[in-house]
């Protein structure tokens, strides 16, 4: 895939009225788009930047998992924005809502930061933040499977967007996602997650299911709170689980109602 096929100019034209100093970059290869933008943020570069990699050699997912990408097989990009919301809670959920709504009606959200379709992972979100000299910069990384991938030791192969949108390319997918995501983030900065709660729950794949967390809590998911916490009904009562403290492990067949 040539960088010329990416809709960089079209995305810039959509975003420019919102962020006049916004830039779009496409790199043929990088270790990780998130790592690259975090390095720039720590070096004092605060301009809003959308960075796309045709190939990642050391992409990072949640809990340090490796996400590698090959040209055309997946879409990997990161967005760096200066942000100062009153409450950061629920940011990754807000990102998920925007992405899912832009992709397909069947795309669901698995708390706190995964996109799922029919019990299979379609993509993931990684949110990082840097603070220098009193300024906060958030870097949001997104990885999506575009073409089918092998199971690679998993019980089932991951989901791929072309299963539901045949023929769509990584470049076309980026064109669908970028501007709506930036609008969602600017709205989140002003209002927080609460206005997005119902939209998240409309796609919540965990609600009503038995789940267990990485710290051993078990119970039934009641959905998410207005701050984006996972509400878990346990034998000891209702617990609010925050993404900074725990992660939800993949549910199994016996967890289905």
Catalytic residue, chosen from 135, 209, 249, 256, is: 249
121 is annotated as an active-site residue: yes
Distance between CA atoms of 98 and 93, rounded to whole angstroms? 9
DSSP code of residue 228:
S
Distance between CA atoms of 199 and 255, rounded to whole angstroms? 24
207 is annotated as an active-site residue: no
Query: Within 13 Å of residue 80, how many CA atoms lie on the same side as its CB?
Result: 27
Asked whether 164 and 117 are in contact (CB, 8 A), the reply is yes
Distance between CA atoms of 193 and 6, rounded to whole angstroms? 31
Provide the CA 80 distance to its chain's centre, in angstroms.
Answer: 13
Catalytic residue, chosen from 39, 120, 121, 149, is: 121
62 is annotated as an active-site residue: yes
Distance between CA atoms of 157 and 155, rounded to whole angstroms? 7
- Catalytic annotation, residues: 62, 121, 249
């Amino acid at each position: 895939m040539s960088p010329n096929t990416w809709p960089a100019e079209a995305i810039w034209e959509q975003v420019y009225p919102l962020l006049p100093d916004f830039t779009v970059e496409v790199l043929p290869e990088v270790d990780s788009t998130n790592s690259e933008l975090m390095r720039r943020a720590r070096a004092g570069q605060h301009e809003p930047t959308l960075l796309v990699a045709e190939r990642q050699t050391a992409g990072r997912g949640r809990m340090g998992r490796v996400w590698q990408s090959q040209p055309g097989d997946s879409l990997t990009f990161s967005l760096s924005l200066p942000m100062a919301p009153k409450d950061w809670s629920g940011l990754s959920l807000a990102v998920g809502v925007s992405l899912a709504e832009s992709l397909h009606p069947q795309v669901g959200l698995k708390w706190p930061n995964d996109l799922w379709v029919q019990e299979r992972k379609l993509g993931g979100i990684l949110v990082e933040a840097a603070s220098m000299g009193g300024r906060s910069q958030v870097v949001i990384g997104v990885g999506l499977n575009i073409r089918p991938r092998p199971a690679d030791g998993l019980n089932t192969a991951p989901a791929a967007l072309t299963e539901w949108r045949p023929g769509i390319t990584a470049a076309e997918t980026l064109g669908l996602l970028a501007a709506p995501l930036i609008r969602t983030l600017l709205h989140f900065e002003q209002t927080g997650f609460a206005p997005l709660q119902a939209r998240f729950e409309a796609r919540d794949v965990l609600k009503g299911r038995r789940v267990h967390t990485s710290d051993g809590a078990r119970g039934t998911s009641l959905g998410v709170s207005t701050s984006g916490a996972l509400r878990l009904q346990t034998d000891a009562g209702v617990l609010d689980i925050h993404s900074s403290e725990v992660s939800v492990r993949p549910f199994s067949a016996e967890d289905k109602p």
